[in-house]
Amino acid sequence: MEKISHPNQLLEWKSDVIANRPPYVKTIVISSGTCGQASGSLPVIEALEQELLKRNLKNKFEVKITGCHGFCEMEPNLIIYPDGIFYKKLKPKDVPKIVEETLLNNKIIPSLVFEEARTKERIYEQEEIPFYKKQKRLLTENNFKIDPTKIEDYVALDGYQALSKVLFNMTSEEVIEDIISSGLRGRGGAGFPAGKKWEICYREESQEKYIICNADEGDPGAYMDRSLLEGNPHSVIEGMTIGAYAIGASEGFIYVRGEYPLAVRHVTNAINQAREKGFLGTSIMGSEFQFDIQVIEGAGAFVSGEETSLMASIEGRRAFPRQRPPYPAQKGLWDKPTNINNVETWANIAPIIRNGAEWYAGIGTKGSKGTKIFSLVGKINNTGLVEVPMGITLKEIIYDIGGGIKDNKKFKAVQTGGPSGGCIPAEKLNLPIDYDTLAKAGSIMGSGGMIVMDESTCMVDIAKYFLTFTQEESCGKCVPCRIGTRQLFEILNRITQGRGEEGDIKKLKSLAKTVSSGSLCALGQTAPNPILTTLKYFLEEYEIHIKEKSCPALVCKDLIIYYIEPKKCVGCLLCLKSCPVDAISGERKKLHVIDHDLCIKCGACLEVCPPKVSAVSKYTGTKKEKLMKKTSPKRVKK
Amino acid sequence: MNNEKLEKIIDSSRTDQKELIHILHDVQSEYGYIPPEAVTAISRRLKVSESEIFGVLTFYNAFSLTPKGEHVMTVCMGTACHVRGGPQIVEDIERKLDVKVGETTADNKFTLETVNCIGCCAIGPVVVVDEKYYSNITLNKIDPIINEYKEDKS
């Protein structure tokens, strides 16, 4: 491959790529990120290739394999252009029909079309599906159009033109000024203005400076960075290179979680392509600027997502955080000025430079500009990655885009910001989402995880879940974090086991204060947030656990029983056979009974009981006590 | 232990501490664990004490000091998987394989592990065996997955 050594060559290359495209009749775009592959996209792709080959249609129809389309619930899915027909949840056996009817005869196959869960309306056009319609996909839209293994696809969409613009038409100061006035804030969690950070690093005098892309996306429930790296890796590389030019760095690192093998592969491949084409390396695009990027694979420690820990990890040490200041922008990697931003922040840079800071600042709210990608997951109908303008309300995200709560249950809360964030209750549904409103509500934006919970989610259990997580992931450097998170977990564990005591809530609150004020890094400082927000909005639920030893959401194992309703049981033996500990007795067509002494509450009986029978229920509190007496083994034997 | 392979991993170009985690990744993927001999050899090459290397390798979840089973079964414990029943899935697999998380079955077929989040939150609960992903796992999907690998003679 020939290197690009002049801005005009890039424009020529772009025109060539577009002009040389074979005259396909239709393009079939199949999403095949990690989610897609996990749901079976690869056999569908294989079947499609085979079918086209068999019918000698390969020159008429293009198959484009892309990263994540965001609508993970409907994976594996495909879109047929130019009409934009969206087919969902595909199996290899659907392929011949798609080729015959839709590709060759322009007929839509109703059974593969998306159906809105609440209204039952069938919508065949991708853009018209409510999940996509209300989004503003500045960064994720290109995931539809780009084969992430092909640099040509990125170049055809004006890729590397922002880099060309800064290298040949802008000074470092002008680039930084653009990023500052765009209002872009770091997408990794704290929301520090990105341009300001660059400016601090730029002003530091040093022979060596470094650029880091934080792709150690450890927040459980967030995966937008994976999706960007898998689906559009060049956008991150271009952003980083612009950042390097602005602050004067010549070396960069992308620190990716080892748990994201596909992202590692795609970004490594993209870096090699960028080098071959002269977008990385010495004399980039013929200018005097040089910069290169290395991929570092993380080794599985949540704390290494914290910037100072991440740098320790790159240096080959344990990922321990350290005191700030000095900030990385002053003293970072190997004590040199280092600018660290996360994947989504880097992906925003090229569009800002291309379209101008004013354009970007026109999107969003007063204090938070642009769009944010959220991972909308949990008990919601349309799960997936959604990109929305800042300032959209929770209600719009959950009901208009997300299609409401699964199985028509009642919305209870949404958890944002991962283990550092908190739970926002139903009464705050009209909250416009940005950095500042979320903080005011007691949570944080974090990296953008949004886990929706319904009435069957126990808030004490959720707090316990996050503390299980943080106490395991605490690096151990600060005692309040190491021991405090453990103690917080122990108290919550006791409460969920029915051993809660009066005074526990006070203890939780006071210990939470100690942990957050006595820890060096954000992991410890924010670890109590899940407890504090659930206490703030769901205090009653804690009190019921402690005083009545019952779990209203029917989640905490020690506080519930499984019970077979005598009036509903048809004696089909299904639950009896599924029970791993033989705790269910009964005969065909006779009532089945659970022995509560043997039952381990695994839930297998509830899962296998046919929906139209639904004889297995869960009970807690006084009803539970009553039923336990009624069905004690002695009584049953009689 | 094959020393030639180890020599290749710790080749002479890798002499700086910044190479430590990369080298450990390579050793882990070559041997399935970090053998004590490798620690000694890395220590000599990088001039980093064995105790520090031990500190680093036990800090990160990706490295283990004991060999793993033929197949590594990983259950995602992310928030989205948690609210959709992830904990039940782990308990059930523990029962069926008769191991606790982190352990390897007696026949050396499976090592059971958990991961904080693999970023497939929309299709949880998720189980990964080696590099194959299984989505929307329910209790009755577990037996077929285990059997798929039990019968596999490779």
**CATH number of the domain within which A512 lies:** 1.20.1440.230
Cβ contacts of residue B77 below 8 Å, gap of 6+? A220, A469, B86, B87, B90, B114, B115, B116, B117
pLDDT band at A634 (very low <50, low <70, confident <90, very high): low
Mean pLDDT of B54-63: 95
Residue (of A564, A544, A543) closest to A552 by Cα position: A544
CATH number reported for the structural domain that contains residue A581 in this entry: 3.30.70.20
Tens-place pLDDT, residues A566-609: 999 999 999 999 999 999 999 999 999 999 999 999 999 999 99
- Measure the CA dihedral A177/A243/A213/A332, to 10°: -90
* Residue listed under structure tokens 């209600």: A395
Distance from CA of B91 to the nearest CA of A (A): 8
> Is the Cβ pair B56, A318 closer than 8 Å?
yes
Q: Are residues A254 and A221 in the same domain?
A: yes
Distance from CA of B118 to the nearest CA of A (A): 6
DSSP letter at A590? S
- Residue that terminates a domain, selected from A331, A361, A391: A361
pLDDT band at B118 (very low <50, low <70, confident <90, very high): confident
A39 in B contact zone (CB under 8 Å): yes
> Is the Cβ pair A469, B91 closer than 8 Å?
no
Which site among B54, B59, B130, B138 would you substitute to test the A interface, given the most A Cβ atoms closer than 10 Å to its Cβ?
B59
Predicted local distance difference test score (pLDDT) of residue B35: 95
According to the 3-state scheme, what is the secondary structure of A1-58? CCCCCCHHHHHHHHHHHHHCCCCCCEEEEEECCHHHHHCCHHHHHHHHHHHHHHCCCC
Asked if residue A97 lies in contact with residue A171, where contact means CB atoms within 8 angstroms, the answer is: no
Query: Which residue type sits at A1?
Result: M
Task: Say how far apart CA A246 and CA A166 lie, in whole Å.
Answer: 9
The closest CB to that of B92, out of A259, A316, A602, belongs to A602
A418 in B contact zone (CB under 8 Å): yes
3-state secondary structure of A556: coil
* Phi–psi pair at A373, nearest 5 degrees: -90, 125
Asked if residue A329 lies in contact with residue A201, where contact means CB atoms within 8 angstroms, the answer is: yes
Q: Are residues A573 and A629 in the same domain?
A: yes
Q: Is residue A3 domain-resident? A: no
Predicted local distance difference test score (pLDDT) of residue A638: 40
Task: Say how far apart CA B111 and CA A636 lie, in whole Å.
Answer: 41
Asked if residue B32 lies in contact with residue B38, where contact means CB atoms within 8 angstroms, the answer is: no
Fold designation for B71-150: Glutaredoxin (3.40.30)
Mean pLDDT of A283-310: 96
Distance from CA of A296 to the nearest CA of B (A): 8
Predicted local distance difference test score (pLDDT) of residue A540: 97
Quick one: tokens of A174? 């002008």
Number of Cβ pairs < 8 A linking chain A and chain B: 160
Q: Is residue A5 domain-resident? A: no
pLDDT band at B83 (very low <50, low <70, confident <90, very high): confident
- Find chain B residues with C-beta within 8 A of A580's C-beta: 92, 95-96
Closest-CA residue of chain A to B62: A299
DSSP E strands, A333-421: 338-342, 371-378, 384-389, 411-416
Closest-CA residue of chain A to B129: A38
Instruction: Please report which residue ranges of A248-403 form alpha helices under DSSP H.
Output: 261-276, 307-314, 343-355, 357-361, 394-395
Tens-place pLDDT, residues A536-573: 999 999 999 999 999 999 999 999 999 999 999 999 99
Task: Say how far apart CA A601 and CA B91 lie, in whole Å.
Answer: 11
* Residue listed under structure tokens 């959209």: A392
Q: Is residue A553 domain-resident? A: no
Task: Say how far apart CA B82 and CA A465 lie, in whole Å.
Answer: 8
Q: Is residue A95 domain-resident? A: yes
Task: Say how far apart CA A293 and CA A287 lie, in whole Å.
Answer: 18
Q: Are residues A46 and A155 in the same domain?
A: no
Q: Does the pLDDT at position B115 exceed 60? A: yes
Cβ contacts of residue A274 below 8 Å, gap of 6+? A151, A234, A237, A280
* Phi–psi pair at A193, nearest 5 degrees: -55, 125
Domain extent, residue A399, equals 371-454
Q: What residue spans define the domains of chain B?
A: 3-59, 71-150
- Residue that terminates a domain, selected from A548, A568, A583: A548
Closest-CA residue of chain A to B56: A318
Predicted local distance difference test score (pLDDT) of residue A501: 96
The string of DSSP letters for A102-116 reads IIIH----GGGBEE-
B125 in A contact zone (CB under 8 Å): no
Task: Say how far apart CA A533 and CA A511 lie, in whole Å.
Answer: 15
Q: Are residues A216 and A268 in the same domain?
A: yes
Quick one: tokens of B97? 């394989």
Q: Is residue A492 domain-resident? A: yes
What are the C-alpha distances in Å from A324 to residues A45, A332, A523?
Answer: 49, 10, 14
ipTM of the complex: 0.93
Q: If you average pLDDT over every residue of chain A, what do you get?
A: 95
Q: How far is CA A591 from the centre of its chain?
A: 45
Predicted local distance difference test score (pLDDT) of residue A317: 96
Task: Say how far apart CA A377 and CA A383 lie, in whole Å.
Answer: 5
Is omega for the bond preceding A76 within 30 degrees of 0, making it cis?
A: yes
Q: Are residues A155 and A258 in the same domain?
A: yes
Task: Say how far apart CA B58 and CA B78 lie, in whole Å.
Answer: 22
Q: Is residue A143 domain-resident? A: no
Q: Are residues A536 and A628 in the same domain?
A: no
Is omega for the bond preceding A82 within 30 degrees of 0, making it cis?
A: yes
Asked if residue A293 lies in contact with residue A237, where contact means CB atoms within 8 angstroms, the answer is: yes
Cβ contacts of residue A297 below 8 Å, gap of 6+? A256, A257, A258, A264, B21, B22, B25
B91 in A contact zone (CB under 8 Å): yes
Q: Does the pLDDT at position A12 exceed 80? A: yes
pLDDT band at A463 (very low <50, low <70, confident <90, very high): very high
Q: Are residues A182 and A315 in the same domain?
A: yes
Predicted local distance difference test score (pLDDT) of residue A188: 87
Predicted local distance difference test score (pLDDT) of residue B2: 65
Is omega for the bond preceding B36 within 30 degrees of 0, making it cis?
A: no
3-state secondary structure of A150: coil
pLDDT band at A118 (very low <50, low <70, confident <90, very high): confident
- Find chain B residues with C-beta within 8 A of A603's C-beta: 85, 88, 139
- Find chain B residues with C-beta within 8 A of A378's C-beta: 79-80, 83-84
Which A residues, 314 through 343, put their C-beta within 8 Å of a C-beta on chain B?
314-319
Q: Are residues A539 and A601 in the same domain?
A: no
Closest-CA residue of chain B to A608: B140
> Is the Cβ pair B117, A219 closer than 8 Å?
yes
Is omega for the bond preceding A96 within 30 degrees of 0, making it cis?
A: no
Q: Does the pLDDT at position A613 exceed 60? A: yes
Which site among A75, A223, A320, A598 would you substitute to test the B interface, given the most B Cβ atoms closer than 10 Å to its Cβ?
A223
Number of Cβ within 10 Å of residue A189's Cβ equals 25
Q: Are residues A412 and A516 in the same domain?
A: no
CA end-to-end span of chain A: 85
pLDDT band at B153 (very low <50, low <70, confident <90, very high): low
> Is the Cβ pair A299, B24 closer than 8 Å?
yes
Q: Is residue A496 domain-resident? A: yes
Q: Are residues A400 and A440 in the same domain?
A: yes
The string of DSSP letters for B115-131 reads ES--S-GGG-S-EEETT
What are the C-alpha distances in Å from A178 to residues A46, A196, A199, A403?
Answer: 45, 11, 11, 37
Q: Does the pLDDT at position B106 exceed 70? A: yes
Q: Is residue A2 domain-resident? A: no
- Residue that terminates a domain, selected from A361, A387, A422: A361
Q: Are residues A440 and A575 in the same domain?
A: no
Q: Are residues A382 and A482 in the same domain?
A: no
Asked if residue A367 lies in contact with residue A434, where contact means CB atoms within 8 angstroms, the answer is: yes
Closest-CA residue of chain B to A37: B133
- Find chain A residues with C-beta within 8 A of B82's C-beta: 220, 465
Q: How many domains does chain A have?
A: 5
